Amino acid sequence: MDSKLSEIHSDLKIINSNKLSSNQGRLLLMGLTFELIQNKQLFPRNNDLKNFIKTIYEENLELEKEYRDYLYLSRTLLGSRVLKTLLIKDYDMLLQITNDLIEFLPFSSTENKSVSPRNSNSTDTDEWVNFLRGRSN
């Protein structure tokens, strides 16, 4: 899972680097967003997605209303609603979301790993899930 998060992290940096057109950046962010929403290792339960969606997407997209609870019953339905919103918003808002995702996602570089990869992955995942459930230390 750590390698998948590393790939997502590097893709987010590509969006910020201005190497892509605004349409390419938008499409890449939409794909990464859907991948994150579908990831059951980061979000074991659908309710774990609420804090993530509120913090990253609802606040940045300046929605008039929060996403309704029925959307959290289905990851695909939630993903499609978030993607629909991303499709119509200004690219500057999407860059802000990209920056927030880079800060929000648990990412540990390979240079800082001193413990066995299995233990550090488990610890990173546990910290991430606890944060999402509102039990941050």
**Token duo for residue 58:** 């609802």
List pLDDT tens digits, range 15-32: 998 888 999 999 999 999
List pLDDT tens digits, range 53-73: 998 998 888 888 889 999 999
pTM of structure: 0.73
Low-confidence ranges of the chain (pLDDT < 50): 110-118
The span from the CA of 45 to the CA of 133, in Å, is 10
Best CA proximity match to 71, nearest among 58, 88, 89: 58
Contact 59, 101 (CB under 8 A): no
Contact 122, 41 (CB under 8 A): no
Contact 95, 101 (CB under 8 A): no
